[in-house]
Copies of this chain bind each other. A is one copy, B any other.
Amino acid sequence: MDAKTNKTIIVFSGDFDKVMAAFIIANGAAAMDDEVTMFFTFWGLNAIRRSKKVATSGKSPLQKAFAAMMPRGPGKLDLSHMNFAGVGPKLMKRMMRQHNVMPIEDLIASAQEQGIKMVACTMSMDIMGLRAEELIDGLEFAGVASYLGDADEANVNLFI
């Protein structure tokens, strides 16, 4: 069979539940031996931020303020609904544990172990004032042309 089975997912959202869905689909496809590209853009970049503050130089005050207000890493993401000032994600995580659903940090690690290509959108990083050193290791850095190249080789392309 020579049909394409690659997958691409644009992770635009930084909501905990949507990022979860993205990683569950991506890991599922990788487990079926599909090549998978996750392209993190806009709020989705927050899912791949380091949880600790990283010193950076040369940011404008506006970039600093924006970066400071956005969540640092998967442990800080809000739910898209029923967030209740942070209680919602805690409850959902507890229910996930009770049903042996992998925590989001493990899903990210699994994605990297499975060789999923994780790309940070450089244009979004510029706009939102995020530097490469503020993001987790193992990422590639590229723009929309790179995404479109991967999407042209894939048979399932999602925007989340």
**Could you tell me which A residues sit within 8 Å of B by CB distance?**
3, 5, 10, 12, 14, 17-18, 21, 24-25, 28-29, 31-32, 34, 41-43, 60, 62-63, 65-66, 69-70, 80-82, 91-92, 94-96, 98-99, 101, 123, 126-129, 143-145, 147-148, 151-152, 155-160
Residue in A66, A95, A145 whose Cβ sees the most chain B Cβ within 10 Å = A95
**Partner of A92 from B96, B127, B158 at Cβ < 8 Å:** B127
Q: Which residue of B lies closest to A123 (CB)?
A: B101
Does B81 lie within 8 Å of A99, measured CB to CB?
Answer: no
Does B21 lie within 8 Å of A80, measured CB to CB?
Answer: no
Does A127 lie within 8 Å of B60, measured CB to CB?
Answer: no
Given known A-B contacts A28-B144, A29-B148, A80-B43, A95 and B62 have beta carbons under 8 A apart: yes
Q: Which residue of B lies closest to A63 (CB)?
A: B95
User: How long is the Cα–Cα vector from A12 to B19 in the complex, in angstroms?
Assistant: 12
Instruction: Tell me, rounded to whole Å, the shortest Cβ–Cβ distance linking A61 to chain B.
Output: 11
Does B144 lie within 8 Å of A127, measured CB to CB?
Answer: no
The 5 closest A-B pairs by CB, nearest first: A28-B144, A99-B126, A158-B159, A151-B156, A156-B157
Provide the residues of chain B in CB contact with A10, threshold 8 Å: 21, 158
Q: Which residue of B lies closest to A159 (CB)?
A: B158
Provide the residues of chain B in CB contact with A158, threshold 8 Å: 10, 157-159
Q: Which residue of B lies closest to A144 (CB)?
A: B28
